[in-house]
Chains A and B, each alone.
Chain A
């Protein structure tokens, strides 16, 4: 186990800079998830930590030791790849044991370690099978086993669940989380799936265009997004973004309705965006309405119903009760408590609240 530090990490391909100075401290035993859309630099960062990509400038330290110029094998890390990277010509036993090839252990010790890891992953019955005779989830377990067997300082996961179907992904998500709780090794996990990030991470690192947008616990990222990108990226369906103006009397929305707000613009008015999550925007009696509109689509999810409401030209998603959902075409009044509202500067997108 070890801590991991990234200092002003920059990556350039020729003249194109794809990472613009990443700073991050990962504590010993922490589970950190990098999340962001394609091309945000999350996988590049991970590959730089692994030593598979050169560092253009900046510094990476593992267990307080700068590893910039160390080969991948000298960094004491293990990596699980998106398409498993388990060797089809080797049995499960050999695949798991592959990570021990260079370890200074006796044959018996290696064999015991392989069985131990296989048991931990529930794969002991499959040790003599070839990967072609395994399911997707089992293959992924073998890949994790190969990483686990070396007892590395840091585990790196590069979108390991992307190739699995939805059900298996949920199952493996849970297994990886349990595994982390059991072994306690520092984990850096890369994904583009915000649900994975939210459910697994101790801390989430949200990235966009080679910059870190926010680092925080899943709850922090969800409840206190620092800008509109994080607010919309985290949470599904994403946060409603309503344009408005902050003037000396408070907040006025695009359709003219006023929202009580404890902040007012001194002097000239200020363009803002009001953010409200769909689950916080619920049907209310007409007298208490913040917004009113016509329901265009109803999506029953069982426990709740998503209501797509057309409000003066903007489509807003609200949450209705699971039972007795309103009909499409009907008029609805929506409201949200003030502590669930988020205010962002329109120009910069930065949170004002």
Chain B
């Protein structure tokens, strides 16, 4: 009898606790224990580890050269001189613009073609479908460093060296994007496609008007991945470009390093400015990127 009483008492407590949690708008349990504080501590440490380089980058960009090797986060004599110098240097804006063109065009192209190929591999049954998919996936296992030589030879033969097209062409379609999109199109029920087919749409219209809007989160996530990847790409743009006019931002920033020393305050200022677009893109689309990563079953 007493056991009954105590069990009903504890369930009352649970009900009360969960209703409190609901009222406060949180689904987390009300009672917190040391394990939870430990988790917070670890997360906090991780956060610090992530934020510190960014904080130092920002801080250094406001410092004079003499203070660069001082590890204080707040500059003793903050200055905007670095920004004025970098922005007045026409080369920087040119590199910024080059990067923007390359990253934007590759993103548009990659999202378009990856979605097209992913959809085809997902929704159509044709001989060799599986082989094609495996072949595309297997290219993911080849590192960029191995590919740059064939890319370079190809660019040389086609006359693409030191051109925007030359920088862009390897990124116009990505195996990762095809994989991501194929996985996402699996979530689009076949009934949607068949219903549209009965309603008289052709296959391309079905892809564009029915399937694509249903995978918007994946498209947004892919767009961010591709944009970030191309915005920060270094090795290939470094190899394929020879004139300073064609440099992308990451390549251009290295020119702030002279033979004797690296002008860190300028490099950091350039980096700080170059982070802005990615930060904006990320803040706008972050809810999509998180859903995209979760749904693709990948660990970010």
Q: Check if B191 sits within 8 Å of A82, measured CB to CB.
A: yes
| 0/1 interface trace, chain B 187-231, chain A, CB 8 Å (1 if under) | 001011011111111000000001001101000000000000000
Q: Which of A95-103, A178-186, A206-214, A280-288 contacts B (4 or more CB under 8 A)?
A: A95-103
| Shortest distance from the beta carbon of B197 to any chain A beta carbon, whole Å | 5
Alpha-carbon gap, A77 to B194, bound state (A): 12
Chain A residues within an 8 Å CB radius of B191 = 81-85
A229 interfacial contact with B, CB 8 Å: no
| 0/1 interface trace, chain A 74-98, chain B, CB 8 Å (1 if under) | 0001110111110111000000001
Q: Check if A81 sits within 8 Å of B197, measured CB to CB.
A: no
Residue in chain B with minimal CB distance to A72: B198
Q: Check if B189 sits within 8 Å of A83, measured CB to CB.
A: yes
Q: B residues touching A (Cβ–Cβ < 8 Å)? A: 189, 191-192, 194-201, 210, 213-214, 216
Chain A residues within an 8 Å CB radius of B198 = 50-52, 72-73, 77-79
Chain B residues within an 8 Å CB radius of A79 = 194-195, 198
Within 8 A of B (CB), among A131-155: 146, 150
Alpha-carbon gap, A150 to B201, bound state (A): 14
Alpha-carbon gap, A83 to B216, bound state (A): 21
Alpha-carbon gap, A317 to B10, bound state (A): 47
Q: Check if A81 sits within 8 Å of B214, measured CB to CB.
A: no
Alpha-carbon gap, A175 to B217, bound state (A): 37
Name, among B196, B199, B213, the residue most crowded by chain A CB atoms within 10 Å (CB to CB).
Answer: B199
Alpha-carbon gap, A243 to B175, bound state (A): 65
| 0/1 interface trace, chain A 98-122, chain B, CB 8 Å (1 if under) | 1101100000000000000000000
- How many residues on chain A are close to B (CB under 8 Å)? 23
Contact A101/B210 with A52-B194, A81-B194, A85-B194 known, Cβ cut-off 8 Å: no
Q: Check if B192 sits within 8 Å of A85, measured CB to CB.
A: yes
| Shortest distance from the beta carbon of B288 to any chain A beta carbon, whole Å | 14
Contact A52/B201 with A82-B191, A88-B214, A89-B213 known, Cβ cut-off 8 Å: no
| Shortest distance from the beta carbon of B275 to any chain A beta carbon, whole Å | 33
Task: Report, nearest first, the 7 A-B pairs whose CB atoms are least far apart.
Answer: A73-B200, A102-B200, A85-B195, A85-B191, A89-B213, A81-B191, A72-B198
Alpha-carbon gap, A101 to B216, bound state (A): 22
Q: Check if A89 sits within 8 Å of B200, measured CB to CB.
A: no
Residue in chain B with minimal CB distance to A99: B199
Residue in chain A with minimal CB distance to B202: A73
Alpha-carbon gap, A81 to B197, bound state (A): 13
Chain A residues within an 8 Å CB radius of B189 = 83, 85
Alpha-carbon gap, A51 to B192, bound state (A): 15
Chain B residues within an 8 Å CB radius of A84 = 191
Q: Check if A89 sits within 8 Å of B214, measured CB to CB.
A: yes
